[in-house]
Chains A and B, each alone.
Chain A
Amino acid sequence: MPTKYADVAGCATNYYYVGKTTLPDVVPDFSRGRKLIFIHAAGSNGHAWHRQYDALGAAHSPIALDLPGHGRSAGVEGLHSVEAYADFVVAFADALKIGAAVIVGSSLGGAIAMDLALRHPGRVQALVLMATAPKFNIPAEGIELWRGVTMGRAGQPFNNDGYSPKTIAEKREVIQEGWGEQIRTDPRVRWGDYVVGSKVDLRERIGEIATPTLILAGADDQITLPADAEFIHGRVKGSRLEVIADAAHHLTTERPDEVNAAVAGFLAGLPGSAA
């Protein structure tokens, strides 16, 4: 999948897209189906969505960006609040001359997407929220551990916590790939994202989201619980919830076919979609 840089408020922002490559100043063709902007999780990057944009790219125009400081985007730090990230995604859409799009977010990216839908509703055609919550349970020791990584007290940790037992038993390569994605971003940025995540509390506000919303959760997710997904489902009118079996926090890489089918089906059912 090709990548390209967009200058977003002076930040060279890397993004993945599908289709023909174009000259630097020429925005690629995003006229196929729906435009989808994928927002990755804490410390992650756009490439983590590759099974999604590969699958959806034939019928739609998926775009997965690396937020500042993440992956191949420039900068040594991320941004310092969900609101700053949401505003950045809007500025990114402006740079790509995208008015409204389907906003897809996972984990912290889901919180960014929810904030974006609340404060920039005109930019959101629909919302897809995966492995996310209106308030994250990020233990203080976890944040301190990552601060310790940035201070050289320990090497960066990685474990199976975000994966379902079935993945752990049968799909080790998916977990291996997860480690590969983790080390593509400076631990300092991941630490900053956990601090950002610890301040998120959207529980009161998500009732105001008035856009078609799909919520996906991994049945075995212990980081953001299926109960969190149900909470969002309960507050966002007209939202659809699907809990995917044999998947946990990394459902996008654990059960990509089910995730992709759910998203494709949701997109097909949106008002204004071709029959």
Chain B
Amino acid sequence: MSLSRKVAVTGVYEHPTRFAPDKTMFQIMAESVRGALDDCGLTIKDVDGLLTAGMGMGAMAIVGFCDYLNLTPNFVDSTNIGGSSFVAHVAHAAAAINAGLCEVAVIVYGSTAASSRFAIGTGGGGHGGDPCDQYESPFGPTTVGAYAMIAQRHMHDYGTTSEQLAEIAVTMRLHASMNPVAKYRDPITVDDVLASRVISSPLHLLDCCIISDGGGALVVTSAARARDLKKKPAYILGVGETVRHAARGQRDFLEIAAAQSGRLAFERAGVAHKDIDMAMIYDSFTITVLATLENLGFCKRGEGGPFVTGGRLRFDGALPINTDGGGLSSNHPGMRGMFLVIEAVKQLRGECGPRQVKDCKIALAHGTGGALGTRHSGATLIMTNQ
């Protein structure tokens, strides 16, 4: 890809809050922008590109946020494809920087989902007034339910078990215990996951992401500019994005967007699966992780069940994932893509302390937006510190 190693993520900041009833969404976003700029040694005056998305944001909220910051950027992008948006934003910012449309792009997210008591997963779900929504919302698809249907089919086709899914949640909680800002840090067991009540079969409560307040920001610049700044750059190697939906009624449901966005990212990066030292995999639900790992090609379709067991996904395992504790235990204010990129960059910089993956040179982040069982987006990003 003509973009490879030309652009880098040079500043990152994850807002430490998980419950901030004293703050507004824009405030959390602005504090995150400030944090990411401080992280790399730039100031708001350097910023000439802005990308953002959020739930409950109107179509032109990015203009409202520019007002809040008093920013008049040369490049704006409010692509909203669900929780994966920020992973896609990295690609969009990279393309813009590479094309000379801007030099310092900030990607930002913030949410008060918890303190606003926003029932993300089990309210009506659905995506508003799109034509496809008319044929779905009358039947009550909740976000959890839409993911659950994928788990149900996977179990039917391949014998995947709730215990296998539960192990993903257990690993996420282990990682969270090493992350001082994660929301839930006390250990859980597979039995705890199975004993938690079923929200939408076969998914239990502990198969589902938490609800938190939170936010974060990234600073993206050219590789050349990044080399002058404070922190070790995370160079973009490859990107990919796409969507999946009902396919006019003829969808193969167990194929998800990651199959295509992942293939694009790997091809463009020119790396193989064995080269990935750690992966940040959007974990709205345990099944999201399993389906994503299969579709990205880390294992064959149907082998996801055994693949996620035996400690493989631990920070010290063969394919460490979500070392921050994920959306299942650390941070999920409604959209989580931002935190995938932040933790991947921190791993590449060697900043992760007890949860640091040894010799982390190449990291992958894959975001999922929307719902696997109805329609969703996927965005894959591969970065290196070399």
Contact = CB atoms under 8 A, between A and B. Distances in A.
Interface of A: 5, 12, 14, 69, 72-76, 151-155, 186
Given A151-B195, A152-B204, A154-B197, A76 B183 contact: yes
B21 A74 contact: yes
B197 A12 contact: no
A69 B21 CA distance: 10
B120 to A, nearest CB: 16
B142 interface: no
Nearest to A12: B22
A74 B183 contact: no
Interface in B157-197: 183, 188, 192, 195-197
A75 B19 contact: yes
A69 B20 CA distance: 10
Interface in B203-235: 204-206, 212
A151 B196 contact: yes
B195 A153 contact: yes
A5 B22 contact: yes
Nearest to B21: A72
B314 interface: no
Interface string B1-35: 00000000000000001111111000000000000
Given A152-B196, A152-B197, A76 B18 contact: yes
A153 B196 CA distance: 4
A74 B197 contact: no
Contacts of A186: 19
Nearest to A183: B117
A34 to B, nearest CB: 28
Nearest to A13: B22
B312 to A, nearest CB: 25
A74 B20 contact: yes
B196 A74 contact: no
A126 B327 CA distance: 47
Bin the interface of chain B by size.
10 to 19
A112 to B, nearest CB: 21
A147 to B, nearest CB: 10
A73 B21 contact: yes
Contact of B205 (A72, A73, A152): A152
Given A153-B196, A154-B197, A14 B206 contact: no
A155 B197 CA distance: 9
B115 to A, nearest CB: 8
A153 B183 contact: no
Contact of A12 (B20, B188, B195, B204): B20
Contacts of A14: 21-22
B192 A74 contact: no
25 contacts: A5-B22, A12-B20, A12-B21, A12-B23, A14-B22, A72-B21, A72-B22, A72-B115, A73-B21, A74-B17, A74-B20, A76-B18, A76-B19, A76-B183, A76-B212, A151-B188, A151-B195, A151-B196, A151-B206, A152-B205, A152-B206, A153-B195, A153-B196, A153-B197, A186-B19
Contacts of A155: 197
A151 B192 contact: yes
Nearest to B196: A152
A73 B22 CA distance: 7
Residue of A5, A14, A152 ringed by the most chain B CB atoms within 10 A: A152
Contacts of A73: 21
B206 A74 contact: no
Given A152-B205, A152-B206, A74 B195 contact: no
A153 B191 CA distance: 11
Q: Pick from B18, B21, B115, B206 the residue with the most CB of A within 10 Å.
A: B21
Contacts of B196: 151-153
A50 B192 CA distance: 39
Contact of B19 (A74, A151, A154): A74
Contacts of A153: 195-197
Nearest to A11: B22
B322 to A, nearest CB: 19
Nearest to A184: B117
Given A151-B205, A152-B196, 17 more contacts: A12-B20, A12-B22, A12-B23, A14-B22, A69-B19, A72-B21, A73-B21, A74-B19, A74-B20, A76-B212, A151-B188, A151-B192, A151-B196, A152-B195, A152-B206, A153-B195, A155-B197
For A5, A151, A186, which residue has the most chain B Cβ atoms within 10 angstroms?
A151
Would you list the 7 A-B pairs with minimal beta carbon distance, nearest first? A152-B205, A152-B196, A12-B22, A72-B21, A5-B22, A76-B19, A76-B18
Contacts of A151: 188, 192, 195-196, 205-206
Contacts of A75: 19
Contacts of B183: 76
Nearest to B19: A76
Contacts of B19: 69, 74-76, 186
A12 B212 CA distance: 16
Nearest to A154: B197
Nearest to A148: B195
